[in-house]
Chain A
Amino acid sequence: MTDDQGQTLRLEIDSDLANTTLIAMAVRGLCAMTALSPVEVNRVELCVVEIVNNAIEHAYEHEKGHKVEVAAHLAQSALTLTVSDWGKAMVKGKLESASMPIDLDDPALWLDSGRGLPIVQNLMDSVSYHRNGDKNSFVMLKHIKS
């Protein structure tokens, strides 16, 4: 259990897509300590995987050997996940403009990529992105209803 201040777990992986499962399983374990429902736990797992994928694919352009850090802060009323990298920053405005339009009649508009950010925006209670020096951090917050 956590007190009002909460507790923070820091995880670190090398920038290899095969390592995202380690983060996913650890975050699932953390979520199991909370009142999040099984559906919410699945969704939190999806969000953290999407953002870790983004760090590896875009910030590090699939190059292995770089650090991706996930800080999970668990308090009574919220879980905050911060995914950090030290690679290329996200293009300004990308987070704000993320969307996933669908037109069933026009296959040209059936996107086979680019759904990660809109999914995360849709599922988390708040998201933000910051660059501090050479460190990029994507912060996601999920309220926990007890």
Chain B
Amino acid sequence: MAFEAKSEAGYTIVSMDETRLDASISEPFRLYLFDQIDSGSDQMIIDLASVRFMDSSGLGVLVAALKKMAGQGALKLAAPQPAVEDLFNLTSMDKLFTITPTVAKAIEG
């Protein structure tokens, strides 16, 4: 599994070389995000463009990261694919996160 972070316009943009964000990689992904937050990333965008499938474990990691930020800074989700967007709607997590169609839109604000 490969997660990657880059800095752009004041944001840490996290992307992944994975099509499935599921229980088999949720723990390493959680550790990666927590490490980014512990390293001072408080303006974060998670680029979900490559993720075609997400289960409740993947969703749980995003919620855990949001909780860890404890209202300090911002965590935005960008470019969710249809099945992922459906999961956010089904669980009402679309109300919890700022979700944008592209990373560029997330940066714009």
Which A residues fall within an 8 A CB radius of B? 17-18, 20-21, 24, 38-39, 42-43, 45-46, 49-50, 53, 56-57, 100, 102, 104, 107, 110-116, 119, 122-123
Cβ-defined partner of A24 (8 Å) among B53, B57, B82: B53
Cβ-defined partner of B22 (8 Å) among A20, A42, A119: A20
Cβ-defined partner of B56 (8 Å) among A20, A38, A113: A113
Known: A17-B24, A53-B23, A100-B91. Is A45-B53 also a contact (CB below 8 A)?
yes
Is B56 a contact partner of A107 (Cβ separation < 8 A)? Answer: no
* Contact residues of A: prevailing secondary structure: helix
Interface residues of B in 18-33 (CB under 8 A from A): 20, 22-24
CB distance from A40 to the nearest CB of B (A): 10
Query: A17 vs B29: C-alpha distance in the bound complex, in angstroms?
Result: 15
Q: How many A-B residue pairs have CB under 8 A?
A: 78
Is B55 a contact partner of A50 (Cβ separation < 8 A)? Answer: yes
Is A39 a contact partner of B20 (Cβ separation < 8 A)? Answer: no
Is A17 a contact partner of B86 (Cβ separation < 8 A)? Answer: no
CB distance from B68 to the nearest CB of A (A): 10
Is A39 a contact partner of B55 (Cβ separation < 8 A)? Answer: no
* Sampled A-B contacts (7; CB under 8 Å): A20-B22, A46-B55, A53-B22, A102-B91, A102-B95, A107-B71, A115-B56
